[in-house]
Structure 1
Amino acid sequence: MTHPSALARRTLAALTAAALTAAGLAVAVAGPASAAPGHPTVVSTVPSAASPNIQDGTVFAIHDAGTKIIAAGSFSKVRNRNSDVDITRDYVLAFDKATGAVDTAFAPTVDNAVNAVAAGPTAGTVYLAGKFNTVNGVTRRKVALVDVATGATVTSFAGPAFNGLIDDVALAGNRLLVGGIFTTAGNANPRGGLASLNATTGALDGYLTTTLTENHNYDGVSGAQAGVGADKLALSPDGTQLVVIGNFKKADGVLHDQVVKLDLGATAATVADWNTSRYTPRCSYAAFDSYMRDVAFAPDGSYFVVVTTGGRYSGSLCDSAARWEAAATGDAQQPTWTDYSGGDTFLSVGISEQAVYVGGHLRWLNNSFGGDSAQAGAIGRASIAALDPGNGLPLSWNPGRHPRGYGVAEMLVTPQGIWLGSDQSWIGNFQYRRERIAFFPLTGGDAPHPTTTAGLPGNVYQAGIPVPTNVLYRVNAGGPAVASTTGGPDWSADDSGNPSPYHNAGSSTSGFAAVGSLDATVPVGTPAGLFNTERYDSASAPEMQWDLPVPAGTEVEVRLYLANRYAGTSAPGQRVFDVTLDGTLVLDDLDLSATPGHDTGTMRSFTIVSDGSVDIDFGHVVENPLVNAIEIVKTGPPPTGTGDEVQTRSYDGAATVGVATPVANPDNTTWSTARGAFWVGGTLFYGMDGALQRRTFDGATFGATSLVDPYHDVYWDTVETDSGPAGQTYVGVNSSFYPEIANVTGMFYTAGRLYYTLSGQGGLYWRWFTPDSGAVGADKFTVAGVTGFADTGSVFLAGGTLYRVSRSTGALASTAWADGVPTGAFTTVSGPAVDGVDWRAKAVFVGP
Structure 2
Amino acid sequence: MNRGLLAAVALSLGCGLLGASHHLATADVPGGTVVRTTPVAGTPHILDGRVFAVTRVGNTVILGGSFTRVRNEGSNTEVVRNGLVALDANTGQVSPVFNPNPGTSVTSLLPAADGTSVYVGGGFTSISGATRARVARIRVADGAVVPTFNAGTINGNVRDMALRNGRLWIAGAFTHVAGRSQPALATLDPDTGAYLPYMGLRVAGTHRGSGVTQVLKIDTTADGSRLVAVGNFDTLQGVRNHQLLMLDTSGASAQPATFRTGFYLTPCSSAFDTYMRDVAFSDDDSFFVVTTTGAYGGSTGACDTTARFETRTVSTDAPPSWINHTGGDTTYGVEVTPAAVYVGGHQRWQNNPFAGDRAGPGAVSREGIAALDPVNGLPLSWNPGRDKGVGVFDFLFDDRGLWVASDTTRIAGQLRSRIALLLKDGATRPTIRTPLLPNDVYTGGSTAALTGLLKRRYDGAVAGAVQDPPDGGINWSTVRGAFMVNGVLYLGQSDGSFTRRTFSGTRFGGAQVVNTSDLIVRLAAWHDEVAVMTGMFLDDNRVYFTLTGDPNLYYRYFTPESGVVGAQRYVAGTGVAGLDLRQARGMFLAGSQVYVATSTGTLVRVDWQRGGASGRLVAGTATTVSGPTLDGQTWGGRAMFLFQNATGGGA
Q: TM-score, normalised by structure 1?
A: 0.70
Deviation at 1:825, TM superposition (A): 6.6
Moved more, 94-103 or 36-45: 36-45
Amino acid of the residue matched to residue 649 of structure 1? R
Deviation at 1:665, TM superposition (A): 3.9
Q: Secondary structure at the match of 1:104?
A: coil
1:829 to 625, 628, 631: 625
1:460 to 428, 431, 441: 441
Deviation at 1:735, TM superposition (A): 5.9
Q: Secondary structure at the match of 1:790?
A: helix
Matched, 1:684 2:489: yes
Contact 1:362/1:383 (CA < 8 Å) preserved in 2?
yes
1:317 to 290, 299, 302: 302
Deviations, residues 424-450 of structure 1 (Å, cap 9, x unaligned): 11113xx2221111111111x122343
Amino acid of the residue matched to residue 388 of structure 1? D
1:366 to 351, 364, 370: 351
2:454 to 647, 672, 690: 647
Change (3 A) 1:184 1:770: same
Q: Distance in 2 between matches of 1:687 and 1:327?
A: 37
Amino acid of the residue matched to residue 7 of structure 2? A
Q: Distance in 2 between matches of 1:733 and 1:209?
A: 53
Contact 1:412/1:418 (CA < 8 Å) preserved in 2?
yes
Hey, what does 1:450 align to over in structure 2?
431
Amino acid of the residue matched to residue 288 of structure 2? F
2:331 to 337, 346, 355: 346
Deviation at 1:763, TM superposition (A): 2.0
Amino acid of the residue matched to residue 616 of structure 2? V
Q: Distance in 2 between matches of 1:57 and 1:732?
A: 36
Contact 2:395/2:403 (CA < 8 Å) preserved in 1?
yes
Deviations, residues 50-73 of structure 1 (Å, cap 9, x unaligned): 311111111111102221211111
Hey, what does 1:630 align to over in structure 2?
none
Matched, 1:841 2:637: yes
Q: Secondary structure at the match of 1:312?
A: coil
2:550 to 761, 770, 775: 761
Hey, what does 1:78 align to over in structure 2?
70
Deviation at 1:740, TM superposition (A): 1.4
Deviation at 1:168, TM superposition (A): 0.6
Matched, 1:797 2:600: no
Matched, 1:669 2:458: no
Change (3 A) 1:35 1:273: farther
Q: Secondary structure at the match of 1:149?
A: coil
Moved more, 30-39 or 318-327: 30-39
Q: Distance in 2 between matches of 1:829 and 1:273?
A: 41
Hey, what does 1:254 align to over in structure 2?
239
Identical-residue share of aligned pairs (%): 39
Q: Secondary structure at the match of 1:783?
A: strand
Gaps of 5+ in 1: 1-29, 219-224, 469-640, 714-730
Contact 1:234/1:295 (CA < 8 Å) preserved in 2?
yes
Deviations, residues 520-558 of structure 1 (Å, cap 9, x unaligned): xxxxxxxxxxxxxxxxxxxxxxxxxxxxxxxxxxxxxxx
Deviations, residues 742-801 of structure 1 (Å, cap 9, x unaligned): 111210011222111112222221112222212222221223343722232211121232
Hey, what does 2:361 align to over in structure 1?
376
Contact 2:8/2:284 (CA < 8 Å) preserved in 1?
no
Q: Secondary structure at the match of 1:784?
A: strand
Q: Secondary structure at the match of 2:402?
A: strand
1:386 to 368, 371, 390: 371
Q: Distance in 2 between matches of 1:815 and 1:269?
A: 43
Contact 1:418/1:439 (CA < 8 Å) preserved in 2?
yes
2:288 to 296, 300, 304: 304
Q: Distance in 1 between matches of 2:518 and 2:622?
A: 41
Q: How does 1:529-568 map to 2 (within 5 A)?
A: none
Hey, what does 1:264 align to over in structure 2?
249
Amino acid of the residue matched to residue 839 of structure 1? W
Deviations, residues 323-375 of structure 1 (Å, cap 9, x unaligned): 11111123111111111111111101100112111111111111121211121
Matched, 1:439 2:421: yes
Deviation at 1:692, TM superposition (A): 1.6
Deviation at 1:826, TM superposition (A): 4.3
Deviation at 1:397, TM superposition (A): 1.4
Q: Distance in 1 between matches of 2:524 and 2:375?
A: 19
Deviation at 1:683, TM superposition (A): 2.1
Q: Compute the RMSD of aligned alpha carbons.
A: 2.0
Contact 1:735/1:776 (CA < 8 Å) preserved in 2?
no
Change (3 A) 1:96 1:400: same
Q: Secondary structure at the match of 1:353?
A: coil
Amino acid of the residue matched to residue 594 of structure 2? L
Amino acid of the residue matched to residue 424 of structure 2? L
Q: How many residues of Structure 1 are paired with residues of Structure 2 in the alignment? A: 613
Q: Secondary structure at the match of 1:439?
A: strand
Change (3 A) 1:652 1:37: closer
Deviation at 1:281, TM superposition (A): 2.5
Matched, 1:119 2:111: yes
Amino acid of the residue matched to residue 247 of structure 1? N
Q: Secondary structure at the match of 2:168?
A: strand
Hey, what does 2:566 align to over in structure 1?
777
Q: Distance in 2 between matches of 1:757 and 1:296?
A: 35
Deviation at 1:297, TM superposition (A): 0.4
Deviation at 1:242, TM superposition (A): 0.8
Deviation at 1:264, TM superposition (A): 1.3
Q: Distance in 1 between matches of 2:112 and 2:153?
A: 19
Matched, 1:170 2:170: no
Larger RCO, structures 1/2 (Cα 8 Å, 6+ apart): 2
1:95 to 87, 93, 97: 87
Deviation at 1:266, TM superposition (A): 4.3
Q: Distance in 2 between matches of 1:384 and 1:691?
A: 30
Deviations, residues 303-323 of structure 1 (Å, cap 9, x unaligned): 111111112223321111111
2:100 to 85, 103, 108: 108
Amino acid of the residue matched to residue 442 of structure 1? K
Change (3 A) 1:201 1:112: same
Deviations, residues 48-105 of structure 1 (Å, cap 9, x unaligned): 1131111111111110222121111111111211222211111111111112111212
Hey, what does 2:19 align to over in structure 1?
none
Deviations, residues 379-421 of structure 1 (Å, cap 9, x unaligned): 11111111111111111211221x3111212122223321111
Gaps of 5+ in 2: 10-30, 644-649
Contact 2:50/2:66 (CA < 8 Å) preserved in 1?
yes
Hey, what does 1:209 align to over in structure 2?
200
Amino acid of the residue matched to residue 505 of structure 2? G
Contact 1:710/1:775 (CA < 8 Å) preserved in 2?
yes
2:7 to 30, 33, 36: 36
1:62 to 39, 48, 54: 54
1:423 to 388, 399, 407: 407
Hey, what does 2:604 align to over in structure 1?
813
Deviations, residues 475-499 of structure 1 (Å, cap 9, x unaligned): xxxxxxxxxxxxxxxxxxxxxxxxx
Contact 2:481/2:638 (CA < 8 Å) preserved in 1?
yes
Hey, what does 2:16 align to over in structure 1?
none
Q: Distance in 2 between matches of 1:37 and 1:712?
A: 36
Q: Distance in 2 between matches of 1:815 and 1:227?
A: 53
Q: Distance in 2 between matches of 1:425 and 1:733?
A: 33
Amino acid of the residue matched to residue 420 of structure 2? A
2:465 to 649, 653, 659: 659
Contact 1:308/1:346 (CA < 8 Å) preserved in 2?
yes
Hey, what does 2:226 align to over in structure 1?
241
Amino acid of the residue matched to residue 140 of structure 1? R
Q: Distance in 1 between matches of 2:378 and 2:347?
A: 14
Moved more, 161-170 or 389-398: 389-398
Hey, what does 1:576 align to over in structure 2?
none
Q: TM-score, normalised by structure 2?
A: 0.90
Q: Secondary structure at the match of 2:55?
A: strand
Q: Distance in 2 between matches of 1:279 and 1:232?
A: 15
Contact 2:554/2:573 (CA < 8 Å) preserved in 1?
no
Amino acid of the residue matched to residue 311 of structure 1? A
